[in-house]
Structure 1
C-alpha cells in the first residue's frame, strides 16, 4: 500500500550544526545524519536525514513500505544546505532501507552514507540499528594512555578477520566476531603482542578488496555479525589487555551503484574531473576534500570509531596517494595546485584537521600513516608544520631489509649499506616497522619463501629478520601467518596454515616471536627511545666483509642498556670481539640459534664477561661465539647479582 505524506517535518540538525557542516568542522555528523530511533507525538519511529543538494526529491524505501517508490518522501530544508529530512513512524530495528534519490539524471536507490549497519553482501541496503551495547572495558580505557604512549612497547599483530581462522566442517566459513573474540584474545595474549590491527572492517561490497574499497564508513561489515558483535570483539580484546587499531580508508571509494558515487546524480563526494576524481591504480573515486561537507563526513567517520567502538588507533591507508596530485598519473593526467606544484593542498589541510580533532578529543589514542614516500614531518605536530600523525610506517626500512635478506649470504657484503642506511633516517619520524600483508600477496610469496638457502638456512634467516626488526628502533607490525613461518602466500579465502605448527621449524619460529615480544616488553632499552637518536648507538657498522653488525639500545636511564649482535652469514664467528660500554657479566637474553627455536644451539652458555680491553671506541669488550645466521641480545648483569 502506498502511503503519501506519511513523513513528519522534523530535524535533529540545529542552525549551529548546519553552520559547522558547511564549514567542514563538524566532527559528529553521525549524530545528526542517517537514521536515528526517536519518538514524535507519542509515536515511535526513525528520523532520517541525508545530504543530496542536487536531488529533485528524496524518499525512504524499505521493509516497512515494501520498497515502494515515493511512499515516504523527505522534506528539503529551506536553508539551502541541501539536506533532506523527516520523521517516519512505523519502521522497526533491523528493517532494511535505502534513500531513493531522483535528479535530472533519473532515479536511483542509495545506501545511507551514515548507516551504522548494512545488509550482508551481496545485498546492499542499510539496516536500522541503535548500537545498544554495555561495555566492560573501563579498566582498559583508564590506563590506555600509557599503553599507547610513544615510549611504550608497541607490537602489532595485523589480522584479516575473514581468513585468520576458518571452520572447514561448516563450509570453510570464517569465524564470526563473537567466535573470534576469545580465540583471538587468547592467542594474541599467548604470543605477547600488545595490539591487533584489523584490516578494514568497514562495510565493503567486494570481499576480495580486503575492505580497502569501502562503502559503509560507519558500519562494520555484516559478514561476521552485527555492530554489537563487533563491539563484543573489541571489548574482549580490551579486557585481555590488547589494544585495537583499525585500518581506515579516506583516500578513495568504489563506484558501486548503491554507494557514494554520483550520490545525488552529480559528483557529490568525488571530484568531477577524472584527473582529480578517478584513481587510476585502483579504478575508484577520489574524495573531493575541497568540499567542506565531505571533510566533515570523513572526520566524523574517524571520530565515530573512536567514540562508539572504543578503538585505540587508526591506521590511515594510502596517505601518499592523497598527498600527491600526480600519484599514479602520467604527464597531462593531473591538475597542478594553485602554485603549480604537485602537492595536494586540500588533502594536507584535511589530514592536519583530522589529526588535530582526533588528538583533541582522544589524546590517549594514536593515528598512523601508511605513507610510502619521503614526505617530511608526517608524524610531527601540526604546530610545527607537520601532518600531525602519531606514527608513520617505515616503508624504506621494509624495502631495504627485505631486499637485503633475499640476497644469498655470499653476496650480502655488497649490500651492507641496506642494513646500515636505515639508521640515518630512523629518527626523522615516529616509525613503525611493518612486515604487513602487502609483502605476502600478489605473487610476492611468503616471508619464509623470500629467504635464500636450504630449509635450515631459510628458517634461520627468518628468525634473524625478526630479531633484527625487534631490536631495531621503531614499533613493530607483523602480519598474521608470519609468526608461523607459513610457506603459502596469504589467501583471503583460506585459513592460515595452523597445521604447520606440528613441525619443529615452524613451531620454533612461533616460539621465537613469543620470546621477542616478551623481551621487547620487558627491556625498556628496546622501546622507550624508539624515536630518539639517544636510544641507539652503533658498536660496529663497518664489518661488511663478514656481514656482522653490532649496536646498543638505551632506555631513558643509562642502566637500561642492551647490546645486539647480528651475523648475516651461515658462518659461525668464534672469539668475535665486540666493544662494550661497561665491564662485568653480560647476560645472553636472546639467541635465535637456540635449539628451542630450531637453531644449531651455538652460543655463550648464557652469558659473557666484558674485559678491560678496548674495542670499537669502548673501554671494555666481549669475546663472543656468534652463531650462523643469528641475532643475539645481551644485557649487563647488575653488580650485586654478578658478585653473588
Structure 2
C-alpha cells in the first residue's frame, strides 16, 4: 500500500484509483525515457527544435506533422516565399532548414509560412526564443537572436529558511506610467526585496503573451521571455544578481492552457486544431477563452517538459509556481464544484493525463535541481498534491493556501472587527493537511486587480487619499493600519510552510491594478508601483513597510517557519485575545478595537519572556505603549495549579506582541 494511503485512512476506499494513477505515471515515464528513467535526457526538445547553429549554418527545425510545406521568410528576403528557404521533411512530422550564416544577421525578423492541404498561414516557431512586437502594427515577429553565452557570476543561494516570497511583475514594477524593464527592476526593486528580507522572488508574466493585460496568463510563446521588458540577457542578469543577494528566483509558469491566437501561438499551428490541444468540446476553456493542452500525447509532454528544463538550464530559475493546477486536474476545470468530500477527487471527473504530466514535471524539476521548489496554485484540496511521488502523491513541494486570502476578504467585508472570532481566525489560518506544506498569504496580485480591493484599501478606502500624512490623525486610518499589521503578522506566523507578499502590498500600496485596455483609454496609471509613497518620511506608508521588514527578519532569524507545529495556548473570545507558540516565540494578538488589558494573565510554559516586537512601536506608526526588550517573569507553580505558569503582560487594543522564550535552568529563575 502506498504511504499516502497509509497516512490518510479516508483514502483507503480509493486505493485502487490512486494506485492505478501511480502505475500509469510509472508506465508513462518508462515509455518516454525508453526504460532509463532519465527525464532530463528526454526533455531536451529546446536543444533540437527552433533555431540552432553548426560551424557553417543556422539550423531551423519544426514539428508539424500535418504540414505539406514550410518556408522561412523575413526582412532578409523581403518577406517572400522562396525555395532556397524551403524546409525539408525529415520524418516523424519533423522539418529542417539549413541557412548559411552569412545570410542571416542578429535582430533580423522572420516568420514561418506553414502550408497544409487546403490552407496556409504565417506562424511563429513553436520553440522560438525571441519575439518582438511592432509598436505601430502590434504584430509579433520572431527575431534572430545571436549573442555569446551569458557569463554567470553567482551560484544559486543555499536558502536555510522556507520560502519567503516576493511576488512581482516586471512591467508594472516602475513608478512611471509605462512598461518597466528587467534592468530597471534589477537596479531599483531588487535592493528593496533584499532589504525587506525576502529570500525568494517569484516573477510573473515572463513567458511571452500577446495581450499585456492578461497579466501573463495567456501565453503564446512558451520559450520566449517577454521582450516588452528587455532582452534574454537582461533577465539572466536580473536572476544572477538576485542570486548574488542570496535570493532564489522562481517563475510563474503557465502550462494549464494557451492563448487561442494562431499567428503568434499554437492554436492551429500545422493547420490542425489537435496538434497540441484537445479536439471537440475539450479544446476550449470555457472560463478563460483559451486552449487546453492534451496531456495524453507524448509530443505535448515532450514540449512542456522541455519548457520546464529550458527555463531552469538556460535562465537558472530555481523552481516554479505552476498556474491553474485546479483547472488541469479536473475535466470540468473544477468549475462549479464544492469539493466537500473525498469523492470529489475520485469520481471519474479527473484528468488522469494531467495528473501524470504534473508528476513528471515535478520529478524533472527535482532531478535537475534537488533544491528547487515547486508550488501548485490549487484550490480543490486534492489529496497528495504536495506529497512525494513515491508515496503516491503528485510531488509539489507546496500548495498555495488560496483559502486564506479569501477568508480575510470575506471577514473584512462581512463582519465588524469587534465581532471577529479569534478562535475561528486561528482555525482558518492553520487548517491544512498535516503532511502538506502550503504557502500562506494575506493577499496576492489577485486581490489587487481592478474590481477587487487590497486589504489596506478595504480597511481605509478613500481616506487614504487625504489622511496618510503623519501629522493628520484619523481614526479610520489608525484602525486600518493596526489591522493591516496584525493580519499580515498572524498570517505569516501561522504559515504552514512558506509566505508570499505581492510587491507594494507590504507598505499598503493604494488603489488597484488595472492594465491598459480599451475601457480605461489604454492608461498605465494603475499598472505601476508608487514606491515614493513608502520613501516619503512625511507619509505613514513607511510605517507599514518598516513593520513588514521587521516581521520578515524576525521569522528568518528565529527559523520560525521551519517549526511545523503552531501550539495555541490562549483563546479568549470575550476579550478577543489569541496567543500561540511556534518554536521559541510566543505570539499574542489583541483584536479588540476598544479594550487594552493591563496585567493580562495567560497560562504559558515555564520560561522567561522577552518582548522583541510590538506592532504598536512608533517606528510602525504606533504609540509605544509597551516597552520592547523588557523581560517578563512568570508566576511560580506554588501560586497556581501544579505545573502551570502565569504570564502577566499589558496588551494594547488592536496590537500584536511577540516574545522570545528563554528557558530557565530552575524554577527559581522564572520568578
What TM-score results when the alignment is normalised by the length of structure 2?
Answer: 0.83
Q: CA deviation at 1:349?
A: 0.4
1:456 to 478, 487, 512: 478
Q: Is the 8 A contact 2:64 2:93 kept in 1?
A: yes
Partner Cα separation in structure 1 for residue 432 and residue 150 of structure 2: 45
Q: Which moved more, 1:128-137 or 1:572-581?
A: 128-137
Q: Distance in 2 between matches of 1:305 and 1:256?
A: 23
Say whether residues 1:93 and 2:106 are aligned partners. yes
The alignment status of 1:473 with 2:495, answered yes or no, reads: yes
Partner residue, 1:74: 87
Mapped to 1, the partners of 2:433 and 2:193 lie a distance apart of 28
Inter-CA distance 115–134: structure 2 relative to 1 (3 Å threshold) = same
Whole-Å Cα distance in 2 between the matches of residues 587 and 344 of structure 1? 53
Are residues 217 and 442 of structure 1, via their aligned partners in 2, closer, same or farther at CA, if it must alter by over 3 Å?
A: same
Q: Any conservation in 1 of the 2:614–2:628 contact (CA below 8 Å)?
A: no
Deviations 1:435-456 (A, max 9, x none): 2100111321122022277110
One of 50, 54, 57 as aligned partner of 2:62: 50
- Residue 17 of structure 1: CA displacement? 11
CA contact (8 A) 2:376 2:400 kept: yes
Quote the residue 1:61 is aligned against.
73
Deviates more, 1:60-69 or 1:432-441: 60-69
Q: Which moved more, 1:345-354 or 1:570-579?
A: 570-579
The answer to whether 1:600 aligns with 2:635 is no
| Structure 1, 367-376 or 452-461: larger mean CA deviation | 452-461
CA-atom RMSD in angstroms: 2.6
Structure 2 CA distance for partners of 1:384 and 1:165, relative to 1, 3 Å: same
Q: Please report how far the alpha carbon of residue 380 of structure 1 lies from its aligned counterpart in structure 2 after TM superposition.
A: 0.7
Structure 1 residues 573 and 360: alpha-carbon distance in aligned structure 2, compared to 1, 3 A threshold: same
CA drift at 1:405: 4.0
Structure-to-structure mapping, 1:73-472, within 5 angstroms: 73-78=86-91, 81-89=92-100, 90-120=103-133, 122-130=138-146, 132-138=148-154, 140-141=155-156, 144=157, 146-147=158-159, 152-167=161-176, 172-258=177-263, 259-327=265-333, 341-406=348-413, 407-413=415-421, 416-425=423-432, 427-434=434-441, 435-451=443-459, 454-472=476-494
Deviations 1:229-287 (A, max 9, x none): 11111111111221111100000111112210011110244434342111111100011
Provide Cα deviations, 1:98-140, integer angstroms capped at 9, x if missing partner. Answer: 22111124111111111111113633121222463433443x3
**SS in structure 1 of the partner of residue 165 of structure 2:** strand
In structure 2, stretches of 5+ residues that fail to align are 1-30, 338-343, 461-474, 516-523
* Contact 2:429 2:495 (C-alpha < 8 Å) held by counterparts: no
**Distance (whole Å) between structure 1 residues aligned to residue 327 and residue 432 of structure 2:** 22
Deviation at 1:539, TM superposition (A): 0.5
Q: Cα–Cα, structure 1 residues 450 and 330, in superposed 2: closer, same or farther, change >3 Å?
A: closer
* 1:154 Cα deviation from its structure 2 partner: 2.0
In 1, distance between residues paired with 2:267 and 2:350? 25
Q: 1:206-250, CA deviations, whole angstroms, 9 ceiling, x for partnerless residues?
A: 000111111111111111211111111111111122111110000
Aligned residue-pair number: 588
In structure 1, runs of 5+ residues without a counterpart are 1-15, 332-336, 555-560
Is 1:567 the counterpart of 2:590? The answer is yes
Q: Name the TM-score, length of structure 1 as normaliser.
A: 0.86
SS at match of 1:236: helix
Asked if the contact 1:61–1:100 (Cα under 8 Å) also holds between the matched residues in 2, the reply is yes
Helix, strand or coil for the counterpart of 2:80? coil
- Report the Cα offset of residue 294 of structure 1: 0.7
Distance (Å, rounded) in 2 between the aligned partners of 1:245 and 1:579 = 42
The alignment status of 1:623 with 2:610, answered yes or no, reads: no
Alignment CA distance shift 1:181-1:616 (3 Å):
farther
Question: Deviation at 1:419?
Answer: 3.0
In the TM superposition, residue 583 of structure 1 has moved relative to its aligned partner by: 3.0
* SS of residue paired to 2:426: helix
Q: Does the 8 A contact of 2:32 with 2:298 survive in 1?
A: no
Conservation of the 8 A alpha-carbon contact between 1:202 and 1:216: yes
